[in-house]
Amino acid sequence: MNAITPRGQALVNARRVLDQARARRDALSIRQAAEQAAVGSFRTADEIELILRRLHRAAGNDRRPVPANPAAAAA
């Protein structure tokens, strides 16, 4: 029997899944990210790596660390 998940719990679950995916993505090196992004792309991993490195440099100090628990930081 399927139970109905309350909306609030569904949002918490979705946020947790997104946070886990973001953590996995951020744990990749730029090269690994480029290689994964190149699969099925018309760009090579080298081209994508160059783009990612340029974007990373351009972001510079504008990047703020993401809190481990965003809900706690908002409170």
How do residues 6-41 score in pLDDT, each as one tens digit?
999 999 999 999 999 989 888 999 999 999 999 999
pLDDT at 43 over 80: yes
pLDDT at 52 over 80: yes
The DSSP secondary-structure symbol of 67 reads: P
52 assigned to some structural domain: yes
- Global pTM reads 0.56
Packing angle, helices 30-38 and 45-59, rounded to 10: 130
71 assigned to some structural domain: no
Give the largest CA-CA distance in the chain. Answer: 52
3 assigned to some structural domain: no
50 assigned to some structural domain: yes
How far is the first Cα of the chain from the last one, in angstroms, to the nearest whole number? 36
68 assigned to some structural domain: no
9 assigned to some structural domain: no
What does the pLDDT read at residue 20? 94
* Number of domain units in the chain: 1
26 assigned to some structural domain: yes
31 assigned to some structural domain: yes
Q: Look up the domain containing 51 and give its range.
A: 15-59
What does the pLDDT read at residue 60? 80
